[in-house]
Chain A
Amino acid sequence: MMRQALAALLLSGVALPAQAYKVFVSNERGNTVTVLDGETWEVLAEFPAGNRPRGITVSPDGKELYVCASDDDTVRVFDTETYEELHQLPSGPDPELFVLHPSGNPLYIANEDDNLVTVTDVKTRQILAEIPVGVEPEGMGISPDGTRVVNTSETTNMAHFIDTTTFEIVQNTLVDQRPRFAQFTADGSLLYVSAEIGGTVSVVDPASGEVLHKITFEVTGILPELLQPVGVRVTQDGSRVFVALGPSNRVAVVDGKTWEVLDYLLVGQRVWQLAFTPDEKFLITTNGNSNDVSIIDVAAGEVVQSVPVGQQPWGVVVTPQ
């Protein structure tokens, strides 16, 4: 309701008081998080975030920022207003990427060096479960109803479907080489799994675990080896899928129904992760080798700005509206 009301206001051209959201970018080599204003794209702050910050997410109320400090073997929790560290969460060793339950608790964490997914209660700060998965777990996705969490293992090349009540693996789907990211559609009907070295995005039916289609990529004049899919984001209505293509410095725009690639947008160097603004007007990309983020105007399908951030930006999250 709120969003529709806002949209109506925007359409009628009434100036709104700034209820601006913030963009948080983890800088893997800089050991910091950069904060951007979600309207002006100005850098508001850069603060220390522990050693090798990679995965980054925010609580549903927008108040707590969670950062995987991979080399500290912990998840650091920051206040999104003051940027003070509030406390840490036990994460298991080498946390890389995580996903928060839609309710805001618990946190499902991939432990890359130990072939585990750790489930951590963000309120009691206790580990609820450790689930053995394949070699080099990385991608973490959760179904919108919160019943299934999906982990991808980069050397085993599987998407593991984990029951969130029993913490048991109920299904394994083989995908192409080095799966990096798993993303459900908002209605939970499809799961997209990127394979960095395989060069594909598998479209999986979460009910059966079957691979329905493999999206492939091709850009004239770019070596196919450089088209390495990593981050994936899908619009709320499922109509568009955005895929970050690593060292090809492109983001692919894919039709969510036909799975045809509609466009390739040129962004910064080595693009890995993506995040929409809550209104889906913009998509932010982390460009690890050019130390900046690119801002894509989603409707126009073009890059409108690039903003320098810290050293080797890895992940990105935007506070909810």
Chain B
Amino acid sequence: MLRPVAALCLFGILAGLPANAQNVAAAVLRVDYPSLLPISRLDLPTEDLGFAGAVLATEDNQTTGQFLGQEYETRTVSATPEEARSTFDQLIADGYRIIIVMARHDDLLGFADAAPGGTLILNARATDESLRSEDCRANVLHVAPSEQMLTDALAQFLVWKRWDRWLVIHGSHPEDLSLAAAYEASAAKFGARIVETREFTDTGGARATDSGHVLVQRQIPVFTQGASRHSVVVAADANDIFAPYLPFQTWDAAPVTGSAGLRPVTWHPAHEAWGATQMQNRFEELAGRPMREEDYQAWLALRVVGEAVTRTQSADPDALRDYMLGPDFEVAAFKGQPLTFRDWNGELRQPILLTDGRITVSVSPQEGFLHQVSPLDTLGLDRPESKCTAFGEESG
């Protein structure tokens, strides 16, 4: 109780204060799955991936909270897949009821089903469509975009460009097939044609080692030779196995998109529109490195919490969840329009950036893709398509 009072005195707020300070405690749980190093060393993982975004959001929330008598505290923990569940249980035992989860489908569902009543989980990583559909849970809201939101965002741009003959190259892992299926659905939704599909089998080689480019320069043209006439390559490579090798190496001179080339993302460190420059500056000053998607998604999840606390003057997870799903909730997140939640499956509506890794090339939804509720609902599962019933009361 002493610290908030001191903060209030410091900032000289005299009028209209709530009598007692509220404590808003949240945790960020990141599960670190074993994986190969990324193809590009620009993408090397960092210890504070996601966490730095959470720290920034907590600072942002606290700056606002000082005027309203709220104290924000965020605990960040990483766990191996083996420790994931016990770490989650410990957070619950320690009293955390607002938990940002950066984990895969199965772990996320395990947490959601183990959580006691009055727990709110915000998914900041898993992109599985099923989590927003048949596997949805009432206590899970999704700040991470779904696969379909991302593939729809790219598909709209390609259709707007009239690059409507796609050569799809997918990997051999189940996640790659799922991503390829999402591109197939997007193509059907917006009227593009997949003229041919090829599978790049992960044989464990072909990493960018010393002089690896020599092999790549020989292999990729051969692999892409003789494809049906196409205007664009769409790569579905969920694990960074081959897609970065495709640009400039394909047999035909077609642009590469999807998992390399032009990629759909929630954030990239060169995004500057809509005040994003300020966000990049603040983050870089704090973390000493560029801001990545994981950081943005953790930041956004906690900003969603902060915004709901500010407007409701409550720290109760159930009250916050109801407000987030209600008609009055909106949050600004450097995307040029307010973000809101789909009340039928708990997924955040958000514009998706298309980047070549250097600049923001475009932002979807694209002009001309219309929807009766919001152009943002042209991305991802729309109400009639979602099989989610856990949000039944709200979807009325």
A residues with a Cβ closer than 8 A to B are: 94, 112-113, 115, 132, 134-136, 153-158, 160, 166, 168-172, 174, 176-178, 196-199, 209, 223, 225, 228, 247
- Answer yes or no: B63 CB below 8 A from chain A CBs: yes
Q: 10 A-B pairs, CB-CB below 8 angstroms?
A: A113-B281, A132-B66, A136-B278, A153-B64, A155-B303, A172-B68, A176-B330, A199-B338, A225-B337, A225-B375
A22 to chain B, nearest CB (A): 30
Chain A contact residues: helix, strand, loop or mixed: loop
* Interface residue B226 (Cβ < 8 Å from any Cβ of A): no
Contact assessment for B12 and A166 in the assembled complex, using a CB-CB cutoff below 8 Å: yes
* Chain B residue total in the interface (Cβ 8 A): 30
User: Would you call B63 and A135 a contact (CB within 8 A)?
Assistant: yes
Instruction: Report the nearest A residue to B376, measured CB to CB.
Output: A225
A178 x B64 contact (CB < 8 A):
no
In the complex, what residues of B have CB within 8 A of residue A196's CB?
332
Known: A170-B14, A197-B338. A135 touches B332 (CB 8 A): no
The answer to the question of B336 belonging to the interface, with a C-beta cut-off of 8 Å to chain A, is yes
Whether B13 and A169, one on each chain, are in contact in the complex, defined by CB atoms closer than 8 angstroms, is yes
A169–B310 CB distance below 8 A: no
Chain A residue at minimum C-beta to C-beta distance from B12? A168
**Complexed CA–CA distance, A108 and B221 (Å):** 61
What's the minimum C-beta distance from B15 to chain A, rounded to whole angstroms? 6
For B12, list chain A residues within 8 Å (CB).
166, 168-170
B interface with A by C-beta (< 8 Å): 10-16, 60, 63-64, 66-68, 274-275, 278, 281-282, 285, 303, 307, 310-311, 330-332, 336-338, 375
- Asked whether, in the complex, the Cβ of A197 is within 8 Å of the Cβ of B337, the reply is yes
Nearest residue in A to B17 (C-beta to C-beta)? A172
Q: Does B331 lie within 8 Å of A136, measured CB to CB?
A: no
* Residue of B with least CB distance to A196: B332
A115, A166, A197, A209: the one contacting B63 at CB < 8 Å is A115
Which of A94, A168, A170, A177 is within 8 Å of B338, CB to CB? A177
Measured CB to CB, the closest approach of chain A to B216, in angstroms, equals 39
State the Cβ distance, A54 to closest chain B Cβ, in Å.
12
Q: How far is the CB of A124 from chain B (nearest CB, A)?
A: 24
A305 to chain B minimum Cβ distance, whole angstroms, is: 29
For residue B375, which residue of chain A has the nearest CB?
Answer: A223
CB-CB under 8 A for A197 and B67, given A113-B282, A157-B310, A177-B330: no
Question: Closest CB-CB distance, A21 to chain B, in whole Å?
Answer: 32
Instruction: Select one of A168, A171, A177, A225 contacting B331, CB under 8 A.
Output: A177
Closest chain B CB from A175 CB (angstroms) = 11
Structural contact, B332 and A156, CB atoms closer than 8 A:
no
Q: Are A134 and B275 in contact (CB under 8 A)?
A: no
Q: Which of B64, B278, B311 contacts A113 (CB 8 A)?
A: B278
Q: How far is the CB of A3 from chain B (nearest CB, A)?
A: 38
B60 touches A135 (CB 8 A): yes
A135 touches B64 (CB 8 A): yes
Choose among A166, A174, A223 the residue that contacts B310 (Cβ–Cβ < 8 A).
Answer: A174
In the complex, residue of chain A having the shortest beta-carbon distance to the beta carbon of B13: A169
Q: Which residues of A contact B337 (CB under 8 A)?
A: 197, 225
CB neighbours (8 Å) of B64 from chain A are 134-135, 153, 155-158
A76 and B330 CA atoms in complex are apart in Å by 38
Q: Within 8 Å CB of B285, what residues of A?
A: 113
The answer to whether A132 touches B278, judged by C-beta atoms less than 8 angstroms apart, is: no
Besides the known contacts A132-B66, A168-B13, 12 further A-B residue pairs in the complex with CB atoms under 8 A apart: A94-B281, A115-B63, A134-B67, A136-B278, A157-B307, A158-B67, A169-B67, A170-B14, A170-B15, A197-B337, A225-B337, A225-B375
Contact of B67 among A112, A156, A178, A247 (CB under 8 A): A156
Query: Which of B13, B68, B332 contacts A178, CB < 8 Å?
Result: B332
Inter-subunit contact B16/A209 (CB<8 Å): yes
A residues near B11, Cβ cutoff 8 Å: 132, 168-169
Q: Which of A136, A153, A155, A166 has the most CB of B within 10 A?
A: A155
Task: Report how far A153 CA is from B278 CA in the complex, Å.
Answer: 12
Nearest 8 pairs of A and B residues by beta carbon: A168-B12, A177-B332, A197-B332, A225-B337, A156-B64, A178-B332, A172-B67, A135-B60
